[in-house]
Structure 1
């Protein structure tokens, strides 16, 4: 498999992480935006690179087990974080203060939830004789760059919809979880 194909796989795999980055960017305070953009992009890039490596070494047998419920895991994790964002948005509206940080636990959960599909891609890499190091570096770097800019773009959108940024971001995460669930159950 050539590098261009792997690059496009990286773009495809990063779309869920980009949607989450956009949603989180809408709710972050501008003061530490670059720091949080880097943290989110690094976490998403790292897990998007790690999961194909795990899939590559785990093989088909492990993937058959996780494919039976991976969509439920992603749905539950994304919905949980989305509901938390909406709840925090309501509390902030009442307290009139803005969320200025990212909890490590939330970043970790989001990074894992958005990278589960990359596990199956890693299994296919083993059969396609893909250069694993080249693939994981390409996927990780692609995800990092896209997510970094999605956080920044999300902040621009969040400024337009400041009152509703947490609600909108939480809603996006819940809808993303539903999309993953529906795709795996019905298509």
Structure 2
């Protein structure tokens, strides 16, 4: 019994650490003028990606090497940089349509970028034989809640910063993407 409690605590801590990127990026993305319904949908989408990506990672972890996890982190960093640059660029181009926004393909790109690290961790957990249901429940629920928290906090900050909030949100995404890519330099 104590082994199972220890495993839950470990997985919750891992889920919290992995969900911090969803929180940070949600903080930046929350600076878009988002309605509560959209915030709810974004949180659910990110949570589903944090279920799906580690599940795929767990399965692949039984067959692939750790090198693939490095690739996933690299791609996630690049995606965040693209999103961040687009947000900063769109504030400079007044009156033009945004290239990427948190709807449709933009939302999927956003969700993918913050959940790729869950894939990497899923690979590792798959190699070590972690319990699949425990992993995906922890990762999905924690990522959803942390995304909602980041988006709601970003929404509040957006009201304080006015038109510069989107540029700040883009800078947050850009900085987080650069942080992910730092080990590759």
Q: After the TM superposition, which residues 40-55 of structure 1 pair with which residues of structure 2 at under 5 Å, given as runs?
A: 40-55=42-57
Q: After the TM superposition, which residues 134-145 of structure 1 pair with which residues of structure 2 at under 5 Å, given as runs?
A: 134-145=134-145
Work out the CA distance in 1 between the residues paired with 2:70 and 2:130.
25
SS in 1 for 2:102: coil
Cα pair distance change 1:162/1:46, threshold 3 Å:
same
Note the residue ranges of structure 1 that are not aligned, 5 or more in a row. Answer: none
SS in 1 for 2:22: helix
Aligned residue number for residue 13 of structure 1: 18
SS in 2 for 1:62: coil
| 8 Å contact kept, 1:57–1:123 | yes
Aligned residue number for residue 113 of structure 1: 113
Q: After the TM superposition, which residues 86-125 of structure 1 pair with which residues of structure 2 at under 5 Å, given as runs?
A: 86-91=88-93, 94-95=94-95, 102-125=102-125
Work out the CA distance in 1 between the residues paired with 2:115 and 2:7.
22
1:176 to partner: Cα distance: 0.6
Aligned residue number for residue 62 of structure 1: 64
Aligned residue number for residue 185 of structure 1: 184
| 8 Å contact kept, 1:55–1:63 | no
Q: Deviations over 1:137-174 (max 9, x none)?
A: 11101110111121111111111111211100111111
Cα pair distance change 1:68/1:150, threshold 3 Å:
closer
1:95 to partner: Cα distance: 3.4
Q: How many residues align?
A: 178
TM-score, normalization by structure 2: 0.86
Cα pair distance change 1:63/1:52, threshold 3 Å:
farther
Aligned residue number for residue 23 of structure 1: 28
Aligned residue number for residue 159 of structure 1: 159
